[in-house]
Structure formats: C-alpha cells, structure tokens
Chain A
Amino acid sequence: MNTALTTPVNSNPIQIGKIICVSTVVAILLAVGLGFVYIKNQQFSIGEQIRQTESKIHRVRAENDVLLAKVTEMTSRSALQERVKSGYIAVVTITGDKIARLTPPVQADETSALRTAFNEVGRQ
C-alpha cells in the first residue's frame, strides 16, 4: 500500500474561521474607511451648500438693507417736502369733524385764532 499519497506532507490546512475573521475585520475597516470618505465628502458638500446659502442670505439681507435705505431716503421729511413743493404729492386738509380730539376743539373765528399777528408777509 502506497501510503505516500494518503499521508499529508507539510500539511497547511485552511483555517476558515481565521480567514473569515480577518476578512470581516478587513471588510469592516474598508467599510469604515469608505464610510469615512463618503461622510467627509458629504460634509464638504453640505459645507459648500451652507456657504452658498449663507451667501444668498447675506445677499438678500444686503439687498434688503439697500432697499430700506432707499425707502428711508425717499420717505424722509425733506424728500416729502420737496415733493409737496413740486406738486407731485398734495397734503389734503382733514376737516375738523373728522378729528378725534382729547381736548375740546377751539373754534377759530374769521381771522383764525392761530394766525400770527404780523408775519404772514414777513418773508417777502
């Protein structure tokens, strides 16, 4: 009987358990690494989105501030007085009966109780 064929020489058995263990560790490490890279990429991408959104918000705020400044200028007392002078807008008198007063109304007589005595033509 030839025993050489049946008897293993320098036998190196495959240790399935260890391979699985190492492979698992490698796979986990790979997954963690890839996950890390993916998350990092996501972070950069979100960071970029944050930057763009911040930039947009900032731009909108700045535009809002510009518009507010323009509104302030256009509705300033001086600007409105200029417009009244030029006739672009008119001041409409509110009649006495439309005014709710906390104090009793004063009846102006013919000369108008609140007219200055002397100075209506003082600027001529």
Chain B
Amino acid sequence: MKFTANTRIGTACGIAAIIFTIFSARLVHLHVAKHEEYSRLAAQKHSTRQPIHAKRGMILDRNGEILATNLPVRTLFADASHMKNPEALSSLVSSHLDLDQKEVLEKFLTGKKYIVLKRKVPEETALALLKDMQEKNLRGIYYEEDAIRIYPNSEVLGHVLGFLNHEGRAVQGVEMSMNGQLAGKDGYRFIERDRTGREIVLYRGVEEDPQHGKNIRLTIDMGLQSIVEEELDAAYKNLKPETANAVLVDPKSGAILAMACRPCFNPNEPGKSQPEQMKNRTIIDMVEPGSTFKIVVAAGALNEGKVDEKTTIFCENGRFAYGGRILRDHHGYGHMDVNEILVKSSNIGSAKLALLMGGDKFYEYVRRFGFGERLGIELPGEIPGLVHPPTRWDKLTITRMPMGHSIAVTPLQITMGMAVIANGGRLMAPRVIQSVEKENGEVTMKKEPIVMRDVVPEKTAQFVADALVGVTQPGGTAAFARVNGFQVAGKTGTAQKVSPQGGYAAGKYVVSFVGFMPAEDPKFVLLVMVDDAKIASNLNYGGLVAAPIFSRIAERAARHLDLTPTMPAIPLQPTPIASTSPAEERRD
C-alpha cells in the first residue's frame, strides 16, 4: 500500500496537532486548575510565610463594660547574618531591653538567623530600640507582633473569665469555653526580603486576611458583681472562712448576674496564685447543702398530694427514732404544717415528708430540681454533684437527704434549685454567655433563655415561696436576711463539713443562705455560702453568718436595679455576729 504525499503530510500534521493539543491542555491544566497549588509551592520556595495575627476578641459584661482586652506587645528577635556591627548592636539592645550585653553579644556571634531576644516587649520600648538602630545605621533586629491579655478589673470575676497561660492558651473560664469564638484565625502573607532584610512589596505572594476573634458579651452585670465581690471580701476578712461563694441569678431567664468565690486570684498574674485560689468553687465544689435542700421535699410532697397546706405532721417533740438512730430538731416541735416545717426548719418534719413520698418519688424530685446533673453553664469543669439512686441508699438516707445530708451538690445547683421556686416551678438553664458579637458590634449569636423542665406547678412553687417568706420574718431562722422595704424569701443551711478522712469534721460547718427578692415578683436569686467561718460555733449558722451578708448584698442590689420598695420600713436591729450572746434564732 502506497501513501500519497498529501496523506503523509496530513498524518504528520495531525500527529503534530495532537501533540500540541496535549501540551496545550496540560498547560491550561497547570495554569488554571493547578494555579493555587503551584503558586503556593513557588511562594514557599522563594519566600517566607509571614503570619498576620488575628486579634483575640474582648469579653464584655451585659452593659458593654470591658472585662478582658488585649495589649499589643512585640517579640524581638535577631538575625545575626544581617549584622554589620554586633558589638554596637548588642550594647544598644541590652540597654533598651535590660539584658546582659555579654550574653547578647555571645548570641549574636553564633551567626544564627533566628535568635529570640525578648518576648512581651512593650510597644514603646520596641519602637525606641528600632528608632535608635535606624539613627545609628545598625540592622539585624526584627520583631513579631504579639499581644498580652489584660483583665482591667484584676481579681474581680477572675474565676468566670479565666486566663491565658504564658503560651497564650486559654486555661479556664470563659476564655477556655469560648476559645473557638474568641481566638479568631491567623492570616498569612508570603513575602520576599532584600539582602538588608526589608520586605520587597512587589513580590508579595499569596495572602489571606486574618479573621479576628469575636467579642463575647456575658450576662454578668459588673455593678452587681462588684457589690457581691465587696461584700464577700468583707466577709472573707472578718470571718476568715476557708472559702466563701456567692451566686446571683435572674430566676426568669437563668442569666448569671454575678458569681464570686474566695479565695480568688488575679488573672493578670496567674503564676503568682496557687491552684486552690483558681478554682471556681460555685461549679466544681461539692457540698452537703444542709437545710436549703428542704424546699425539694416540701415541694415534692405538696405536688404529689401527700400533704396539703393544712396537713399537719407530728414532729416528735424534737426526737425521732428511725433506723436505729435518733434524728433531732433544735427545738422540740409538736404538730406543724408544711409552712411551719420550712419556717422552723424542722429536720424531723422534712424526714417525715420524704417518708410519706417514698424513696423513689423523692429521688425523682431531687433529680427534677437539677441535682445530680450538670446544668450546662458555659464554664469548663462543672460537676454533676453526687446523688445516689434509692437502690444505693441505706436505711437512714431517706431521713437524712431531705435535710441536705447524704447528698453533695454544687453551689450553683442550690441557687438554681431555689430559682425553680422563684420562677413558678420552672427550671431554667443557667447561662453566663449573653451573645457573641463581631468587632463592629453586629450580633452573630444570641443565647436565649432555655427552659430545662417544669419541676412543679406554679401553685406549688407559690406555696413554697410564701412559706419561705416566713423564714425571714421574726421567728423564722433567717430574720437577719431581711431587707427594708422588700419581702425576702429564702432558706438557711448549716451543714457539718465532710472530713477528707471520712465522716464529719468536728466544729466545722458550711453555712449558707439562698433566697430571692422581691418575694412577690423575684428579680434575683442570691446564694451566699461560707465554709468554716472562724467564729464561735454557737454563732456559726446560716441564719447568723450568711443571712446578713445576703441582706447587705440584696439591699445594694435593689438600689442598683432601682427596685421599688413594696413594704414599710422596719426598725433597725443589732447585727448578729457582733452579738456576744447566742442568738435565739440559732437554728439551721
């Protein structure tokens, strides 16, 4: 078979066309489809990746008061290969950065390209050094941007805010739980430098802008927080307890308005504090709640119809033999209704209410009030507490748990348990985050109140609330919790402290008062808890130690919130702790 000249030419052209088409296609593929990949590779080969740091978001209180912000600083480093006069440079650097000149010079003479001289250098120091270098025509010192976190209010709210460690990692508090939103995302830019180390702007490569962190607005009201902190400080100085906690909550939304613990720490200087100071005890400490827990059994028994408002319980005149042990009241009481059981804080009355309900039902109410579960506050480390199911109870548990023994709960759980009564029987999820906002104030996420569950009907909650008003009236266990002009409802708690060696520590008590105000339309629930106050044991009761602190905080909070008084003024009475004689109201 013979090919004509035309056929041969056509074949050759066709083959050439196919080859060129293949090459062209490959070129298009490389230039278009693989553009990003190869530009990045090229950039990596010829240039250095310069990070553009994202700014960490601020933390604000509900009114926009700044609680955590950033202070720009610089990390200064040297490139010994760019230096002409290491001696002069070392002298200049050491004088500006307060470093030993000999050590600096030794580092320079190693010839290394990256020598970190000092971190966290204030902006003005770094600028002064660079200016002096420019004037003396020296080179070889460069900087990286950095920032340190500052907390303008120092110790105030330290446990809630948390802090960043020396590596800039969030360690606890909101800083840790909201780190994803606060941190942002660093950007980068590929750059080339000339022989003097200056960037050649013309050869800037791939660039990605940083995404700055978002601001976090808390539910905390710094006005209320500072009131709580001041009063807690005063109590901590006067009573010298091991720990003291206070939590202030809006019962209708579950918003935490203030939260404070003692001992505390300064998040600006976390290294100077002991781990014990850094614990947010309101969510990670377990305590036996004592008599504050009686609201659970009272609400449960009423709701289950085991008792009504008029049913009376015989309180055995102060000595109740059950399970081979004697349960005592502070005073011998006869027949009392539920209201009186709460007002007089009768252990026997509460135990009998639990017996009427039965272990399973009582346990169900304990859980419904939120005890034994994490309430989901946006702070790291919250614990669920310790609530054993009835299958693990011994014979005495059903008589001990109603008075707040044989159970361990967090201070936040106690507060939210009382908030159930203040909020018409509805348990709200506690929350400390109000919203997440961009730098320009645009809200990207708003946290709405979350109803966890309806624990008891409004009628039952109202009955218990009315009874709790009696607790703060003359004759109740917490008359010192009263606030002039308002009806206060609340419950005292005095629990013997659990010893680490087992059993109870003699003479050591955790005393508390949890209440709400105004009782008819609660604006806040406040818990004050004092652990092992150094006062005479005959004065170490919730009604004498914690209730007055509650009263002082509640009064100032009422002024801050501009609440309208609804009650007439009452005569002043002497302070309980200053009293030298045991107060008559000495009950738990």
A residues with a Cβ closer than 8 A to B are 43-44, 46-48, 50-51, 59, 62-63, 65-66, 68-69, 72-73, 76-79, 81, 103, 106, 109, 111-124
- Jot down 21 A-B pairs with beta carbons below 8 A, ordered by A: A43-B202, A46-B201, A48-B201, A51-B199, A69-B69, A69-B70, A69-B71, A69-B150, A72-B69, A73-B152, A76-B152, A76-B153, A77-B65, A113-B568, A116-B551, A117-B572, A118-B576, A120-B572, A121-B575, A122-B552, A124-B578
Listed stretches B2-10, B329-337, B358-366, B478-486; interface member = B478-486
Distance of A111 Cα from B572 Cα, bound (Å):
9
**B530 → A minimal CB distance (Å):** 13
Residue of A whose beta carbon sits closest to that of B223: A77
Choose among A47, A48, A73, A121 the residue that contacts B150 (Cβ–Cβ < 8 A): A73
Choose among A44, A62, A113 the residue that contacts B569 (Cβ–Cβ < 8 A): A113
**Most chain B CB atoms below 10 A, which of A46, A73, A79, A117:** A117
* B residues in contact with A115, CB < 8 Å: 484, 555, 569, 572
Taking A79-B152, A115-B569 as known contacts, 7 extra A-B pairs with beta carbons closer than 8 A to each other, sorted by chain A number, are A66-B124, A69-B71, A113-B569, A118-B576, A120-B575, A121-B578, A123-B234
B residues with a Cβ closer than 8 A to A are 65-66, 69-72, 122-124, 127, 145, 150, 152-154, 156, 198-202, 222, 226, 234, 238, 480, 482-485, 548-549, 551-552, 555, 558-559, 564-565, 568-578
**B252 → A minimal CB distance (Å):** 19
**A74 → B minimal CB distance (Å):** 8
Q: Are A68 and B69 in contact (CB under 8 A)?
A: yes
Q: Are A116 and B123 in contact (CB under 8 A)?
A: no
**A30 → B minimal CB distance (Å):** 24
Distance of A123 Cα from B564 Cα, bound (Å):
26
Q: Are A122 and B578 in contact (CB under 8 A)?
A: yes
Distance of A121 Cα from B480 Cα, bound (Å):
13
* A residues in contact with B559, CB < 8 Å: 114
Distance of A59 Cα from B569 Cα, bound (Å):
60
Q: Are B569 and A109 in contact (CB under 8 A)?
A: yes
* A residues in contact with B574, CB < 8 Å: 118, 121
Q: Is the interface of B mostly helix, strand, loop or mixed?
A: mixed
Q: Are B200 and A47 in contact (CB under 8 A)?
A: yes
Distance of A30 Cα from B156 Cα, bound (Å):
73
Distance of A123 Cα from B123 Cα, bound (Å):
44
Residue of B whose beta carbon sits closest to that of A46: B201
**Most chain B CB atoms below 10 A, which of A47, A65, A72, A118:** A118
Distance of A65 Cα from B66 Cα, bound (Å):
14
Distance of A65 Cα from B53 Cα, bound (Å):
14
Q: Are A122 and B569 in contact (CB under 8 A)?
A: no
**Most chain B CB atoms below 10 A, which of A69, A106, A115:** A69
Choose among B66, B198, B573, B578 the residue that contacts A117 (Cβ–Cβ < 8 A): B573
Choose among A47, A78, A116, A118 the residue that contacts B153 (Cβ–Cβ < 8 A): A78
**A119 → B minimal CB distance (Å):** 5
Q: Are B483 and A117 in contact (CB under 8 A)?
A: yes
* A residues in contact with B551, CB < 8 Å: 116-119
Distance of A46 Cα from B204 Cα, bound (Å):
13
Choose among A66, A81, A109 the residue that contacts B72 (Cβ–Cβ < 8 A): A66
Distance of A111 Cα from B485 Cα, bound (Å):
11
* B residues in contact with A103, CB < 8 Å: 564
With known contacts A47-B201, A65-B70, A79-B152, A117–B124 Cβ distance under 8 A: no
Choose among B122, B127, B548 the residue that contacts A118 (Cβ–Cβ < 8 A): B548
A-B interface, 3 closest residue pairs, ranked by CB to CB distance from nearest: A47-B201, A76-B152, A122-B575
Distance of A76 Cα from B66 Cα, bound (Å):
8
Distance of A117 Cα from B571 Cα, bound (Å):
7
* B residues in contact with A117, CB < 8 Å: 480, 482-484, 551, 570-573
* B residues in contact with A78, CB < 8 Å: 152-154, 156, 226
Q: Are B238 and A113 in contact (CB under 8 A)?
A: no
**B225 → A minimal CB distance (Å):** 8
Residue of A whose beta carbon sits closest to that of B483: A116
Q: Are B199 and A113 in contact (CB under 8 A)?
A: no
Distance of A51 Cα from B194 Cα, bound (Å):
13
* B residues in contact with A109, CB < 8 Å: 569
* A residues in contact with B153, CB < 8 Å: 76-78
Distance of A113 Cα from B484 Cα, bound (Å):
6
**Most chain B CB atoms below 10 A, which of A78, A113, A114:** A114
